[in-house]
Amino acid sequence: KAGVTQTPRYLIKTRGQQVTLSCSPISGHRSVSWYQQTPGQGLQFLFEYFSETQRNKGNFPGRFSGRQFSNSRSEMNVSTLELGDSALYLCASSLGTADDPTNYGYTFGSGTRLTVV
């Protein structure tokens, strides 16, 4: 059974550019969440999608956006990149449903390491 796949694994971008990261969840998982991880900050929640709908959003500026497709694959986009956006971006999928969101653990991808120079 394939795990959560994130692409690309590594990315180097210049300030002001935009970037799109992709996440393919485990087959059958309709819930996808995105996190940013920086040293000393822990996992910071970005968004959660369920069946193509954004169910929740973290405290990040509008430059961070995301979407989910009908096959549950998800993308996140960061526009006008800043140096502080350099981080590991993790995607996680879950069997959780709209009514029973977190009775199931999350399966994480390997992440995309974004470096903004």
Partner 1 sequence: ILNVEQSPQSLHVQEGDSTNFTCSFPSSNFYALHWYRWETAKSPEALFVMTLNGDEKKKGRISATLNTKEGYSYLYIKGSQPEDSATYLCASYNAGNNRKLIWGLGTSLAVNP
The region of 12-20, 39-47, 63-71, 79-87 touching partner 1 under the rule CB under 8 A is 39-47
Q: Given the complex with partner 1, which of 16 and 105 has the nearer CB atom?
A: 105
Q: Can you point out the beta strands (E) in 1-117? A: 5-7, 10-13, 19-24, 31-38, 42-50, 53-57, 64-68, 74-78, 87-94, 107-108, 112-116
Q: Is 89 in the site for partner 1 (CB under 8 A)?
A: no
Q: Which of 18, 56, 77, 80 binds partner 1 (CB under 8 A)?
A: 56
Residue of 5, 22, 58, 65 that binds partner 1 (CB under 8 A): 58
The residue (of 64 and 106) whose beta carbon lies closer to partner 1 is 106
Q: Does 45 bind partner 1 (CB under 8 A)?
A: yes
42 binds partner 1 (CB under 8 A): yes
Contacts of 98 (CB under 8 A, 6+ apart): 50, 51, 55
Does an H or E element contain 29, and which? none
